[in-house]
Structure 1
């Protein structure tokens, strides 16, 4: 072995100490590095805070309107549910299904409210295409909605937005559905059974109006569905009644027809078929978002953290370039 390859104990110990020095974290040294780079940290925090303020002021106010609903008596054991419990066996003998008392009509109504068919019908019926897709904010002075002229030409009443295929100039049902679902919410409290319908929008008056329309249209839709089912049941029962000559079966058919007719009449006179409004929607006086103060605070915190990371990264690079003694 030559002298060039010999490593003395002193040299070996020095190398070990150098490696140990590289692996150790000196808190005093880190604090000193942070202190030397304090202006970087302050500048980063101020810059991000200013940016957060600018974004917070640029974002338009959004208001939240909601209504509290309770399942109507028709869905809590009355109406079709009671009929099914009382005459379900007779109806099954006749070959029809009245639905069971265990049917979750409220849960079904919530899923209907979230369905593409109901939402797109609601949007088209109330002509909400422009408010959904072209409005960017509300004018604070006049209270009027501001339409983006690059999306919709209000003078000519036509869509002028530029989109790439397969999208069309006029928004499709799929686009309208996605846009609406970002503003709409419907939830049921599992303990109390109460249902909350809410809408977020730039205008408090519009948000309140949409909630009212949603509750009314949802009740009407569910009522029409059940009315159609009941009318089919009555028509079927009358057909079967004409075919049978057995007195006992005729009595069954007459009773079922009578109860179905009562149910149909009750549905026609009850506008709040599935949900009764406990707490109607009101025009909100305070915005729901953006949370501007929170945005500014978070911007300052994130800016400070970014500054600390930059200072520590510069310190680590400088430390690696220092020669090992």
Structure 2
């Protein structure tokens, strides 16, 4: 059979749902052309939003942060290594900035004290920080803590030790077992020594690792960042308006 006598092969036709209407296709060149034609919208809104953002940023007050770092003194009672029991740093923070301690420091500083704390457990330190618009006031606030925290903490520990001794002495009078008396007597002797050390003016429990200095550079507002974000937001808004106008115009011509 010759080629001319062979039956024609049927051609495959894609179903309608696979056929893409060419009229709905958007050419990237058309989009870039539309953006170029509406470039003044993009530029104008970018500049407008940038000016608004800059005006907002430069009308906001400068906010500063003052910081100091404190830490517990290693072996403040000069005990042998086997008798040392350092207080965990997170428990120390809880004790230092309890309401009782805050009131004691406020009484010593003769002013209200309010600072934020950040425990750095790996270094065994506590970072004090305060934020505000007045650098000198922030420095005074942090210094009020660093100057009173050791005295206030010694006072708190003294009260707790005195209470412990009162309880121990009462128990010594009450118990009859000689073994219990010996055990309580040893613990009472240790608490008595601790109280004597707390009463001595040279004993220090909290040390200032890094004293506070008056801040000179504000931490916020980030004026440059706000201005740049305003410019970018304006550019995005301008581009969106141009593309929406292009889409409506394109539909109107179809």
Partner of 2:8: none
**Secondary structure of residue in 2 paired with 1:73:** coil
Select between 299-308 and 119-128 the one with higher mean Cα deviation: 119-128
* 2:120 pairs with 1:189: yes
1:40-78 C-alpha deviation (Å, 9 max, x unpaired):
11111111111112112111111111012223214xxx6
Equivalent residue for 2:162?
231
C-alpha displacement of 1:315: 1.7
Structure-to-structure mapping, 1:76-87, within 5 angstroms: 79=77, 86=83
Q: 94, 111, 131: which one pairs with 1:126? A: 111
Mapped contact 1:69–1:276 kept (Cα < 8 A): yes
What residue in structure 2 maps to residue 61 of structure 1?
Answer: 62
d(CA) in 2 for partners of 1:316, 1:221: 71
5 Å-filtered alignment, 1:246-257, equals 246-257=177-188
Secondary structure of the residue that 2:197 maps to in structure 1? Answer: helix
Q: Match of 2:251?
A: 320
Over 3 Å counting, the alpha-carbon distance change for 1:54 and 1:71 in structure 2 is: same
Unaligned residue ranges in structure 1 (runs of 5+): 1-11, 87-99, 129-179
The reply to whether residue 35 of structure 1 matches residue 39 of structure 2 is no
| Whole-angstrom distance in 2 between the partners of 1:81 and 1:25 | 82
Cα 1:237–1:119 change in 2 (3 A) is closer
Partner of 1:310: 241
Equivalence map 1:206-217=2 (5 Å): 206-217=137-148
Aligned partner (choices 279, 295, 307) of residue 210 of structure 2: 279
Map of 2:6 onto structure 1: none
Per the alignment, do residues 322 and 300 of structure 1 end up closer, same or farther by CA in structure 2, a change over 3 Å counting? same
Q: Which residue of 1 aligns with 2:51?
A: 50
Q: Which residue of 2 aligns with 1:136?
A: none
Q: Distance in 2 between matches of 1:41 and 1:316?
A: 16
State the alpha-carbon separation in 2 of the partners of residues 307 and 256 from structure 1.
78
TM-score, length basis structure 1:
0.61
Instruction: Give unpaired runs (5+ residues) of structure 2.
Output: 1-14
Alpha-carbon spacing, 1:21–1:262, altered in 2? closer, same or farther (3 Å): farther
Aligned mate of 1:108, from 88, 91, 113? 91
Deviation, structure 1 residue 223: 3.8
1:284, 1:310 → 2: CA distance?
Answer: 45
Q: Distance in 2 between matches of 1:228 and 1:211?
A: 25
Alignment RMSD: 3.4
Structure showing greater Rg: 2
User: Which whole-Å CA distance do the structure 2 matches of 1:214 and 1:224 have between them?
Assistant: 15
Cα deviation, 1:127-151, whole Å, max 9, x if unaligned, reads: 47xxxxxxxxxxxxxxxxxxxxxxx
Q: Name the SS for the 1:126 alignment partner.
A: coil
Cα separation, 1, equivalents of 2:136 and 2:49:
35
Shift of 1:258: 1.8
Cα distance in 2 for residues equivalent to 1:200 and 1:118: 21
1:281 offset after TM fit, Å? 0.1
- Contact kept, 8 Å, 1:199 with 1:210, in 2: the verdict is yes
Question: TM-score, normalization: structure 2?
Answer: 0.76
**Where do 1:252-263 residues align within 5 Å?**
252-263=183-194
Counterpart Cα distance in 1 of 2:102 and 2:27: 61
Q: Between Structure 1 and Structure 2, how many residues are aligned?
A: 235
Quote the Cα distance in structure 2 between the aligned partners of 1:39 and 1:211.
52
